[in-house]
Amino acid sequence: MRRGLLILMVFAILISTFLVAQQVELKFLHRWPDPINQPFFENVVKDFEALNPDIKVNIQAISNDPFKEKIKIVLGTSEAPDVFFTWPGEFTNRFIRAGRVMDITDALVSTGWIDDFVYSQLEPFMYEGRFYGTPYRIDGKVFMYNRLLFEEAGVDFVPETWEEFLVACEKLNKAGITPISFGNEQPWAISHYIGTLNQKSVPEDVWLKDLDPAKGTWDHPGYVEALKKFTQLIPYFNQFPNAIKHAEARANFFAGKSAMMYVEIVEIPYIYTDAPVEFQENWGMFVFPNTGGPGNQNYLTGYPEGFVISADTKYPEQALRFLKYLTGREVGRREFAEVGYLNGIKNLFDKDEVDPGTWDAVQLVLEAEAMANWLDSSLHARIWDVYSVQLQMLVDGVTTPEKVMQEVRKAADRVRAEF
């Protein structure tokens, strides 16, 4: 008996040693080093490793803006992550063109994995007919408003048109209420306004052509019109928006210091963690008002975010296994329960499993005729570098819509000449 037990123990040790010897290490990079998301990813990785003892995942987390710089530097080097976060659109497309992102089309199609996803949330990860990533978080942009402040100012309607929106802003302003919270210290915030207005102010074929860095000229008058519309809102923002962080503006909005804010639906969970009960019970939302412009007015600004695999990974099969787990159903349900995000998996929840606000917001995303990508993610980096500075100057009142677009056109000309 003892001899048999000894043999089993030796066998177990040998198997264990073999597995350790065969274990590969994946480098995983995401952009959420905060106290809620970081532990979530650590637990997801721990559970994945338990299911896949041949894989060890090393996590690195870098916040939003530093991440954008880091990933440009490390791709193509020995420090490149095997699996990493990305924004679909030109932010990712430039890496695809450079051969730095792995094509996962065959893995998606041949196994039926593609059928797990809401197609509208997977399609943004397609480039020239091939898939390169999968969605981890779906998102969209809406105006959130404080019903009590609307009532106080006599705004008895939810704005549907640009004219109605301006009327509501003026009524709030006359009642001594700041109409809109806006924090633009980091200019991605203004990119959401301008991206929306561009899409609605320019014919769709022109808008799509201009987003292509090899073709864009940015000379349609609708872009100036979009900026003129934005300047109509500046008197209705809080003071000094370029000196205020988005999170600070949101806190002021929750505290009743303003009546509206243009927010992402992934911010809804903050209502139930950061806002007073009075706000929790008296908020509503509406989509960006119809501007009457030549662009499709039924688009919703917003895009999924997700993960891709480095084309230089030494372990493509293991990286695919991790990507499939990370953006799959099991993690998706945990993701919502623990951090409040929804991934791109079909029928992830029933209506009675989520709060009404989140359900309604997600339906806006899923039912939108199409999604308009975030402006900062859809532009060539050097065009956005110029655009973002000019937009902050516009907020400060030191430039004009015409001058902004003049500088954008110059940047687009320089970029286009390189293709």
Please give the domain boundaries of the chain with CATH numbers for all domains: 2-139+303-348 (3.40.190.10), 141-301+373-416 (3.40.190.10)
Identity at 311, one-letter amino acid code: A
Strands (E) located in 132-174: 133-137, 141-146
Per-residue pLDDT of the chain (419 residues; tens, 9 = 90+): 555 555 555 455 545 544 455 899 999 999 999 999 999 999 999 999 999 999 999 999 999 889 999 999 999 888 999 999 999 999 999 999 999 999 999 999 999 999 999 999 999 999 999 999 999 999 999 999 999 999 999 999 999 999 999 999 999 999 999 999 999 999 999 999 999 999 999 999 999 999 999 999 999 999 999 999 999 999 999 999 999 999 999 999 999 999 999 999 999 999 999 999 999 999 999 999 999 999 999 999 999 999 999 999 999 999 999 999 999 999 999 999 999 999 999 999 999 998 898 899 989 988 888 899 999 999 999 999 999 999 999 999 999 999 999 999 999 999 999 99
Q: How far apart are CA 195 and CA 64, in angstroms?
A: 19
Q: Looking at residue 132, what DSSP letter applies?
A: -
Do residues 234 and 392 touch, judged by C-beta distance below 8 A?
no
Q: How far apart are CA 57 and CA 48, in angstroms?
A: 9
- Identify the pLDDT of residue 65: 85
Which residues neighbour 95 within 8 Å (Cβ) at sequence distance 6 or greater? 71, 75, 86, 101
- Identify the pLDDT of residue 86: 98
Tokens of 396: 């400060």
